[in-house]
Amino acid sequence: MSNLPLLRVIRFSAEIMLYGATIVSWKSPSERLFELHGPLPLPCAMARKPVRGGIPVVFLFGPPAHPEHAKLPQHGFARSSNWSWDNIIKEEGDHVSVTLTLDPTPSITAVYKRQFHLRFVVTLGENDIATELFVQNTSASTEYPPDFLEFQALFHNYVLAPANEVLVTPLQNLFYFDKTESTEEGKSTAKAEKRAGVDVRKFTDSVYENAPGSYEVTWPGGGVAIKTTNLKDVVVWNPAETGSKMGDMEQGGWEKFVCVEPGHVRGYERVAPGLTWVGKQVISVIHNARRHQ
Ligand code: TA6
């Protein structure tokens, strides 16, 4: 019996680029949840453009609105910076964690003067993937008032799904800000979400404030659950045909994904010198996804 070939059940694998600390693939032999279309987006790194797809890490969200963020690109510098490899840890059972870090480089300091240390931890489990962003204020100031680090953070999840059939729950009765009307901070009006299941059949760019923190993204035959810690808001985005104006989106690419992005993006988190904030999400596959009508 001992010469029987070892049967190894390979479940999920993930690919993470040091560039942007972007998860560019999370898949199993039967499920593709966060796989980019086509070859790895290496040209992004050459052009210092963020990766379009996977799970980009957003540190400082949207068009810059904070005085300290005035020179930053949309969605900040983390997703278009080269992160450093820290370590890999095989945890109990079949979990494995990879840690990447980012500290101020000359190109970052040229546009952002604050002192910080970012740690991004990706943990791969049998049926789930977790991402944690640790934001440390490394200011040595002992002045009063404290030299707070003010920031926003978000995981920009591109979930592979048929955009015309996907639904996001539970968002009913929440207030959201509709950025399809105005992207200027504070200019879009708050609307009450009336739908039991939010669809993205048309151009959608909604910022839900003080959301429940746990979501289901479902479509006929599939789905993922997203459970978060310390991420009070969630964004639902799909460009629909406006995606045809995006140079790095393939024709019709908008039909193949929905972005469900947990974060802290309404207002700013504040961390005092020496302290660290952490935001986390755990994404798991829903095998027999029930449909919310
Ligand atoms: O998260 C939604 C959003 O802020 C949209 O407004 C849209 O700009 C999207 O992000 C993509 O942004 P990007 O900078 O990656 O093109």
pLDDT tens-digit map of 30-64: 776 666 544 455 556 666 788 899 999 999 998 89
Nearest C-alpha neighbor of 236 from the set 204, 281, 274: 204
What pLDDT does 142 receive?
94
Given ligand 1 and candidates 205, 234, 238, which is best to mutate, with the most ligand atoms within 8 Å of its CB? Answer: 205
Among protein residues, the one whose CA lies closest to atom 9 of ligand 1: 237
* CATH number assigned to the domain covering 7-286: 2.70.98.10
Alpha-carbon gap, residue 15 to 50, rounded angstroms = 16
Cis peptide preceding 145, ω within 30 of 0 = yes
Q: 94-136, pLDDT tens digit by residue?
A: 789 999 999 999 999 999 999 999 999 999 998 899 999 999 9
What pLDDT does 38 receive?
47
Q: Does the CB atom of residue 235 touch ligand 1 within 6 A?
A: yes
Break the chain down into helix, strand, coil percent, rounded to 5: 10, 40, 50
Atom of ligand 1 nearest to the CA of 179: 6
**β pairing state of 214-219 and 222-229:** antiparallel
- Find all residues with CB under 8 Å of 116, minimum gap 6, and list them: 103, 104, 135, 136, 137, 138, 149, 151
Instruction: Please give the chain's pLDDT, 293 residues, in tens.
Output: 455 555 555 578 899 999 999 999 998 877 766 665 444 555 566 667 888 999 999 999 988 999 999 999 999 999 999 999 999 988 767 789 999 999 999 999 999 999 999 999 999 998 899 999 999 999 999 999 999 999 999 999 999 999 999 999 999 999 999 999 865 655 677 999 999 999 999 999 999 999 999 999 999 989 999 999 999 999 999 999 999 998 888 889 999 999 999 999 999 999 999 999 999 999 999 876 555 44
Catalytic residues: 156, 261
Which residue shows structure tokens 């969630």? 234
> What secondary structure, in 3-state letters, does 184-242 show?
CCCCCCEEECCCCCECCCCCEEEEECCCCCEEEEEECCEEEEEEEECCCEEEEEECHHH
Q: How many CB atoms lie within 10 A of CB 152?
A: 22
Nearest C-alpha neighbor of 77 from the set 30, 38, 39, 109: 109
Q: Is 251 annotated as a binding residue?
A: no
Q: Is 79 annotated as a binding residue?
A: yes
Alpha-carbon gap, residue 43 to 248, rounded angstroms = 10
What is the distance in A from the centroid of ligand 1 to the CA of 258? 12
Q: Which pair of tokens denotes residue 6?
A: 């070892």
Break the chain into its structural domains and give their ranges. Answer: 7-286
On the 0-12 / 13-18 / 19+ scale of CB atoms within 10 A, 249 is: middle
Alpha-carbon gap, residue 153 to 142, rounded angstroms = 25
What's the ipTM? 0.98
What is the distance in A from the centroid of ligand 1 to the CA of 62? 7
